[in-house]
Each structure stands twice: as C-alpha cells, then as structure tokens.
C-alpha cells in the first residue's frame, strides 16, 4: 500500500511514497513535486457520469490527477487547495462523507460516489447541497480543512453539535441533522432568529458512534473573502 505522511506544521504537504505499480489519484493541481519514476495523467475518475456528478455535488475538479509508479518506486508531494491541515483516514470498514472541497488524495482502490442528502441537510447544511461525496472501497484517504484540524469521537448518548462551516469529513454511519446552536422561545423560527443574532447560524448535530474531522477556521468566511479579493484584483 502507498504510504501517506503529513509533513510540516503550518500549511503541510502530503508526502506519498509509492512502490512500483502503485497508483493514487488526487484533486486537480494538487501535485507539487514528484520523482521521475512517477507518471502523471489527467483522467475523469469513474467515467463521464461520475466526473459530472462530483463536479456538481462537491465542487471537485472534472479531471483529477492520477499518479502511478510506472518506472519503479517514487515519492511525490501534494498540497490541498485550502491553507490548512491534512488528515489521513483509513477507508474500509468505515466509509466517510466529505464537505465541499475536503478531498485531497486517495489510493487507487478508494472510490468516490455521490450520495443524496435529505432536504433539511441539503438546504441548510452547506455540505454539498442535495448531493454529497462518500468515500468507500479500501485504502487511505487524505482530507483537508481550513486552519488546524481535530478529530472528534462521537459516542452513543453523547451527541456533538458543530458549526457546519467547520466540518471536514465524518463517519458515514453517524446520524446527522440540522439544528441551531441556541435555544429560545417562538418555535423553530424564533430559534433561527436567536441563532443568527448570536453569530452561530445553523449547525450540524451528530449522533451514534464514529469520528468527525473538524477544522479551526470558517471555510465559508475564507471563500467569501477570497472571492472578494479576486474580484478586486480583476
């Protein structure tokens, strides 16, 4: 199996070591450096339909980078789109769901599929609209968020509430639903008003047993800032 190692404390690289014949795939433009034994190709992972659905569902690139050790063992360095930490997850018995832009790289036997969300999560969760990416198969999966990362363990009868803009990925077996961080009178509408005025907005409530990967910075705020900065330089 390919070796995934996170190197660096601030804006780290993903260091991948491949044996002869091993393959990985990663988000477009993720490759920073690779040794000459490796070969890089741009492909539509899973065919045209899957590529279109990933693009529509999670904002991923239409073409992904595929790196293969065709001429012997070799190493490469990858970098995520957002400035932030990288977490390496083992996919197999555990499948993971990912927020928009969280995918960095995966071993060749890890599959990315589109999964439908319920209406509440789609409208309010900001985690991919009506569709969301699910990683299955077997192998290592690298995900990234904005800022530092932290892995939370959800246990039965110990639900966790997380601001949706800080969620990176989570165990597909977990139950999650839209909620508000603050409680108050006036029914659901009153709770929404109270939540908005508190500055928290909508949150995701996770229950069951499994892991949730979160990031320290609000990725929606960063995306908004980046869009304004880009427009200002145009």
Residue-wise pLDDT for 79-112, tens only, equals 998 789 999 999 999 999 998 889 999 999 999 8
**Helix, strand, coil content of the chain in percent (nearest 5):** 20, 45, 35
Which CATH number fits the domain that encloses residue 186?
3.60.160.10
What integer pLDDT is reported at residue 44 of this predicted model? 66
What integer pLDDT is reported at residue 123 of this predicted model? 43
Please compute the mean of the pLDDT values over residues 190-218 and round it to a whole number. 73
Cα atoms found within 13 Å of the Cα of residue 83, Cβ hemisphere only:
4
* Whether the predicted pLDDT of 227 surpasses 80: no
* Whether the predicted pLDDT of 192 surpasses 50: no
Closest to 210 (Cα-Cα) out of 101, 100, 89: 89
What integer pLDDT is reported at residue 217 of this predicted model? 87
Closest to 203 (Cα-Cα) out of 167, 150, 234: 167
Both tokens assigned to 29: 């433009």
Please compute the mean of the pLDDT values over residues 41-53 and round it to a whole number. 62
* Whether the predicted pLDDT of 233 surpasses 80: no
| pLDDT interval class at 29 (50, 70, 90) | confident
For the stretch 142-170, pLDDT in tens is 999 999 999 999 999 999 999 888 999 99
Distance CA 211, CA 110 (A): 18
Please compute the mean of the pLDDT values over residues 27-34 and round it to a whole number. 93
What integer pLDDT is reported at residue 180 of this predicted model? 65
Instruction: Show the domain range for 32.
Output: 3-232
Count the domains in the chain.
Answer: 1
Please compute the mean of the pLDDT values over residues 63-69 and round it to a whole number. 91
* Whether the predicted pLDDT of 208 surpasses 70: yes
Distance CA 98, CA 82 (A): 14
What integer pLDDT is reported at residue 120 of this predicted model? 52
Query: For residues 169 and 210, is the Cβ–Cβ distance under 8 A?
Result: no
* Whether the predicted pLDDT of 225 surpasses 80: no
Average pLDDT of the chain to the nearest whole number: 80
* Whether the predicted pLDDT of 122 surpasses 50: no
């Amino acid at each position: 199996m390919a070796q995934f190692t996170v190197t660096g404390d601030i804006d780290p690289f993903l260091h991948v070591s491949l044996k002869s014949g091993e393959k990985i795939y990663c988000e477009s433009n993720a490759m920073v450096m690779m040794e000459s034994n490796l070969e890089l190709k741009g492909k539509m992972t899973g065919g045209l339909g899957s590529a279109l659905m990933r693009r529509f569902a999670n904002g991923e690139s239409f073409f992904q980078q595929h790196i293969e050790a065709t001429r012997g063992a070799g190493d490469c360095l990858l970098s995520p789109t957002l400035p932030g930490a990288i977490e390496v997850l083992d996919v197999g018995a555990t499948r993971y769901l990912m927020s928009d832009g969280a995918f960095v790289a995966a071993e060749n036997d890890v599959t990315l599929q589109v999964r439908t969300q319920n209406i509440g999560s789609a409208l309010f969760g900001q985690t991919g609209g009506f569709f969301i990416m699910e990683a299955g198969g077997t192998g290592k999966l690298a995900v990234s968020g904005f800022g530092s990362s932290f892995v939370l363990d959800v246990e039965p009868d110990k639900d966790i509430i997380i601001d949706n803009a800080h969620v990176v990925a989570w165990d597909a077996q977990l139950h999650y639903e839209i909620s508000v961080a603050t409680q108050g009178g006036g029914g659901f509408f009153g709770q929404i008003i109270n939540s908005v005025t508190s500055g928290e907005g909508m949150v995701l409530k996770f229950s069951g047993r499994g892991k949730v990967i979160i990031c320290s910075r609000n990725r929606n705020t960063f995306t908004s800032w980046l869009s304004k900065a880009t427009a200002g330089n145009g």
